[in-house]
Amino acid sequence: MDNSPYNRAWSSIPGRPSFPGPWGNICKVSRAFANYDTDLDLLIKGVLGNGKSIRFWLDLWIGMEPLMARFPNLFKLESAKNYFVADRIASTSYGSTFTFTWNRLPTTQQKTDEYSSMLGLIDTARLSSSGDKWCWDLDQINSFSVKSIKKKLEAQVLFLAWRANLERLPTLASLAKRNIQVPSLLCPFCGLDVETPDHIFVSCSTAQGVWDAISDWCRLPGIYLFGVQNIFRTPEFLHGSSKWKKIIHAILCSTVWILWKTRNNKIFNHKLKL
């Protein structure tokens, strides 16, 4: 049970595990990491430029945690929780000014205390004309924990990854090839093409939506996939430290695992519409 006063429904991921669509899947990936005490959202930090793509309350960009977590009582009063830093801060040569849209003004001692500490914290923030950037702050997790997350997560998906690589996943197309009767060969997500590993994990519009959301969430330049084997090799082509690449690799593996589980649920239990 989460007793923190700020509402966990607000996260940098616009969705929940039970939601249909790609962001619901990303929540599941994120929760898989949370089981190993790693909050991925705290590893991705915004570096302030013009403040137009960093969300003031929801993203981590100043201090050690998102402002919604540091100032939970104040966050409750905010009427526009998704607003960007540029909506809240304006910088001139004399310094920065702040604009808020409260549901109610912060009046209790606790809230006014939070308000003054928040102003103290953001007072140093200056907008510039360049675009915002994102960086991964991996200092707070050591190599050992990266190794153990990777090991635990990959143990779940290794078998699947191996099978997908060898195109031996029991997809509808491969079952039919082995003369096992299936009601339809078509992909259970889109119904437009024969269900092969390359289709469900790469070319299906559902998979593409999930990969786009993953690259958005992890602030990757874009994940371009040409086949299943490509997924697991993606980190080799990205620029970054080996620790970061290991985390990205684990995220990609988890995503494949969750897509496959969602597909199984859809076929066998008619659950989770995508």
CB of 29 to Zn ion, least distance (A): 20
User: Is 161 a residue that touches Zn ion (CB under 5 A)?
Assistant: no
Closest CA to 30 of 19, 18, 17: 17
Alpha-carbon distances, residue 178 vs 66, 170, 171, 182 (angstroms): 52, 10, 11, 11
How many residues bind to Zn ion according to rule CB under 5 A?
A: 4
Query: Per CB under 5 A, which region of 69-77, 91-99, 181-189, 237-245 contacts Zn ion?
Result: 181-189
CB of 207 to Zn ion, least distance (A): 7
Per CB under 5 A, the list member of 67, 77, 86, 187 interacting with Zn ion is 187
Distance (Å, whole) CA 230 – CA 226: 6
Contacts with 176 (C-beta within 8 Å, 6 or more apart), sequence order: 182, 185
Per CB under 5 A, the list member of 44, 121, 160, 190 interacting with Zn ion is 190
Are the C-beta atoms of 223 and 202 separated by less than 8 Å? no
Closest CA to 13 of 1, 23, 28: 23
- The pattern of x and - marking residues 48 through 87 that bind Zn ion according to CB under 5 A reads ----------------------------------------
Are the C-beta atoms of 101 and 79 separated by less than 8 Å? yes
Q: Which is nearer to Zn ion, 38 or 206 (CB)?
A: 206
The H-or-E segment that residue 244 falls in is: helix 242-264
CB of 167 to Zn ion, least distance (A): 17
User: Is 204 a residue that touches Zn ion (CB under 5 A)?
Assistant: yes
User: Is 23 a residue that touches Zn ion (CB under 5 A)?
Assistant: no
What DSSP state is assigned to residue 236? Answer: G
What DSSP state is assigned to residue 121? Answer: H
Query: Per CB under 5 A, which region of 38-46, 203-211, 217-225, 256-264 contacts Zn ion?
Result: 203-211
CB of 189 to Zn ion, least distance (A): 4
User: Is 185 a residue that touches Zn ion (CB under 5 A)?
Assistant: no
76-98 as b/e, with b when 16 or more CB fall inside 10 Å? bbbeeeebbbbbbbebeeeeeee
Query: Per CB under 5 A, which region of 7-15, 43-51, 120-128, 180-188 contacts Zn ion?
Result: 180-188
What is the token pair recorded at 207? 């998979």
User: Is 189 a residue that touches Zn ion (CB under 5 A)?
Assistant: yes
- Site residues (CB under 5 A) for Zn ion? 187, 189-190, 204
